[in-house]
Amino acid sequence: MTLVRIKGFKIYQDRHGMWRCYHRATATAIDLKRSPMGTAAFFAACQHITKLYDTTATAKPGTLGLLIKEYRAHDSFQNLAARTRKDYQRCFDYLKAIEDTPLAKFSPPLIVRIRDKAGTQLGRKWGTYVKTTLSLIFSWGLERGYVDTNPALRVKGIKKSKDAPDANRPWSDTEREAVRSGATANLWLPISLMMFCGLDPGDVVKLPATAIKDGHIDTKRGKTKQPVWLPLPQPVKEAFARAKPHSAITVCASTEGTPWTYSGLDGAWQRLRAKLLKTKEIEPGLTMKGLRHTVATILAEMGYDERTIADMLGQKTIEMARHYSRRADKRNKLTAVIKNFDDEMVKRRTKVV
């Protein structure tokens, strides 16, 4: 492979001898299998990314494009996690068609139209995310005098229809067992860490080997930076015993002994899910992220409070723990409540007249 140097890009060989290339400012990677280094496709990909993320590009004063440009050049954007910057940039790319719109023309009704159009084109969640991103940059601009108001501040997200399935729903007991039985040893290890420890898929693939110490997980949640310290549950210990030994710097590795990438892990999961759907061993809508909901739901059913659930999931506040556990089956708790209520009404408050 021909080694080249491109300004703004880091090109290197990882510890496994694989060549990697990514855009330094945004951590956007180039797929060297699709665009081999030194080829016309490679240079075209670099040029495309550079153009998209060029903070020096000319933007008209007083427009949305200028506000986005200034925000992207600021530490408020540059200090975000690479994944977060990439997600925001997807929204900026989508908004590029209206970047010449004067800031003074933005109003709540216009934000709603932009939100609804994005929702129609790309789905409800995407429409809401575009609205949220607009609110973020207008809030940033308001603090620095670019705008006088935040027109997206009170605009709500697109409401989910009542019959729409829940995203990342909890897994049933039979579904968990079906996945355990069908997964390969090296796939089951990361899934078991999600299923029994509540780790996020993005955190599992990055979990360094040094995070496992004396039968415990000692790490931090990637998104919140909250510490996560847990004794390894017995099923996870068994998953470690099943997994093929490797020398990767991460806890989990593929069958080739290389660290899982998120796309690689997701691909393996999608193949297993398709197989189990075909045999009707699982129901539609099963996702890896749903395992965090599963952990929270089971803990809530066991009677644990929201602060404990949040600590288990590495959340700073209890709001997400409440969201994750909202489907918890309250039968055990409410059975006791009804018994006590019945005793109160029948035995203590009933009087013979």
Report, as an integer, the average pLDDT of 275-302. Answer: 91
Q: Which of 21-25, 162-166, 275-279 has the lowest mean pLDDT?
A: 162-166
With DSSP H G I counted as helix, E B as strand and the rest as coil, what are the percentages for the chain, rounded to 5?
Answer: 50, 10, 40
Residue 172: pLDDT band (50, 70, 90) is very high
Question: Please, what's the b/e burial string for 39-66 (b: 16 or more CB within 10 A of its CB; e: otherwise)?
Answer: eeebeebbeebbeebeeeeebeeebbbb
Domains of the chain: residue spans and CATH? 1-54 (no CATH), 58-164 (1.10.150.130), 173-324 (1.10.443.10)
For tokens 């796939």, the residue is 187
The pTM is what? 0.63
Report, as an integer, the average pLDDT of 10-37. Answer: 82
- For the segment 34-73, what is each residue's pLDDT rounded down to a tens digit? 888 888 888 888 888 777 666 555 667 889 999 999 999 8
At 224 the pLDDT is 78
- For the segment 230-248, what is each residue's pLDDT rounded down to a tens digit? 899 999 999 999 998 898 8
- For the segment 206-226, what is each residue's pLDDT rounded down to a tens digit? 999 999 988 889 998 887 788
Residue 353: pLDDT band (50, 70, 90) is very low
Q: Which amino acid is at 214?
A: D
At 32 the pLDDT is 86
Report, as an integer, the average pLDDT of 124-131. Answer: 93
**Does the pLDDT value for residue 83 go beyond 80?**
no
Which has the higher per-residue pLDDT, 192 or 351?
192
3-state secondary structure of 263: helix
**Does the pLDDT value for residue 321 go beyond 90?**
no
Report, as an integer, the average pLDDT of 29-36. Answer: 85
